[in-house]
Structure 1
Amino acid sequence: MNQKTSRQLKKEQTKAALIETAYDIFSKKGIQGTRMSDIAAAANVSHGTVFLHFSTQEAFIAEVVQYYCNQIALRTHEYSDSCHSLRELLSAHLDGIMEYEPFYTRLVIESRMLPTEARDAFISVQSAISFHFSKALEREGLTSIPAGSLFNMWMGLVHYYLANGDLFAPEGNVIRRYKATLTDTFLSLMEKKD
């Protein structure tokens, strides 16, 4: 039986604390606006300790983004598994984002400036919902417009509101405030006209 030493456990705890601290700071200040020394100070470790756990700043950012994107994708899958309609799926998607909204919003705003690995992780979140989205469209017989185009319209609508959250919900919580509006607006675009 291979048990971890107290030193190994401490090292894992420090790394987890750095990732969690980075998440909090990135959510508030942005990824590009955060220095590694800010994270080290907030985590009560030396600046050098950050680089004992992560070889470069880019590797650190990528690991934080990867970890939380995995969390968002997991929540999205959990919520989506019980959906029977496109409306339910869109609502579930927004619920998955809402739990991590400040961080997700930073990803939306800064995605083009992220290191490649971090950007790939963010794109993987979109893939997580895209699969469920396509299945919901098929179930409802909404195949006259390519699923990819509809999905991009949905993501564009959601990301537009998040990127302009200071206008739509200055107090924060864009998704909570506009969840019904986003869902209803998107579905109205798909209504068949007689």
Structure 2
Amino acid sequence: MTESKRQRQKAQTKEHLIETAYAVFSSRGIMAARMADIAAAAGVSHGTVFLHFNTQEALIEEVVAHYGALIALETHALAERCGSMEELLRAHLGAISAYEPFYTRLVLENRMLPTAARDSWIDIQSAVSLHFNRVAERESSRIEKRGIPDAMLFNMWMGLVHYYLANGGLFAPEGNVIRRHGTTLVGSFLKLLNG
């Protein structure tokens, strides 16, 4: 069955709303953005947004699921080729760098998000964790972990990255923490591992 012109237009409008909401969430915050803000930024009526998303929660869930999947896929794609912990850490930063403003909002607001959006956030972290644990196991003879379990090492890495992102105004007032401090984050974490 072929798609009608009306169905294509409706799908395009929904896609435009998701992209617009992503941009608004990235700049203003996920929970602070209103449906009216999305409508105005998209150049559509307030009712058009509600036609595609019954509630603000539904819009948030869809945007986080869509962009969360992109971040997780990028993480998998980059991490699959990594042979060392350093390469993996750089790949992780590379995967989130294109989405840094939105990812930072997820770091800051994840506990306030609707349940399905929090689940998408967990999926992103799981993508990183999977590859982190694989590399940690492979490099266990080369990495001096000082008896620290792999799960704790992963949490230390994520905590370091998320701390810098959450305090981006302090670490990178121009707005790009990863570009400015990525090499330092990777190097510092590797020093913690290897003494």
Where on the TM-score scale, by shorter chain, does this alignment land: which range? over 0.9
Match of 1:25, as an amino acid? V
1:189: which partner in 2? 192
Q: Taking every aligned residue pair, what percent have the same amino acid on both sides?
A: 62
What is the TM-score with the length of structure 2 in the denominator?
A: 0.95
Q: Which runs of 5+ in 1 are unaligned?
A: none
Q: Distance in 2 between matches of 1:126 and 1:5?
A: 39
- Secondary structure of the residue aligned to 2:107 is helix
Residue-by-residue CA offset, 1:91-133 (whole Å, 9 max, x unaligned)? 0000001010000001101111111111111111000010000
- Secondary structure of the residue aligned to 1:187 is helix
Bigger mean CA deviation after superposition, 112-121 or 17-26: 112-121
- Alignment of 1:156 onto 2:155: no
- Secondary structure of the residue aligned to 1:55 is coil
Q: Distance in 1 between matches of 2:31 and 2:130?
A: 30
2:10: which partner in 1? 11
Trace 1:1-194 onto structure 2 (pairs within 5 A): 2-141=1-140, 142=143, 144-192=147-195
Q: Distance in 2 between matches of 1:4 and 1:42?
A: 28
- Secondary structure of the residue aligned to 1:83 is coil
**TM superposition shift of 1:145:** 2.1
CA RMSD of aligned residues (A): 1.0
- Secondary structure of the residue aligned to 1:171 is coil
- Secondary structure of the residue aligned to 1:50 is helix
**TM superposition shift of 1:38:** 0.7
Match of 2:32, as an amino acid? G
Match of 1:61, as an amino acid? I
Q: Distance in 2 between matches of 1:153 and 1:47?
A: 43
Q: Which runs of 5+ in 2 are unaligned?
A: none
Which runs of structure 1 show a deviation greater than 4 angstroms over 4 or more consecutive aligned residues? none
Q: Distance in 2 between matches of 1:162 and 1:31?
A: 16
**TM superposition shift of 1:45:** 1.2
Q: Distance in 2 between matches of 1:36 and 1:90?
A: 36
Match of 1:72, as an amino acid? I
Q: Distance in 2 between matches of 1:168 and 1:182?
A: 12
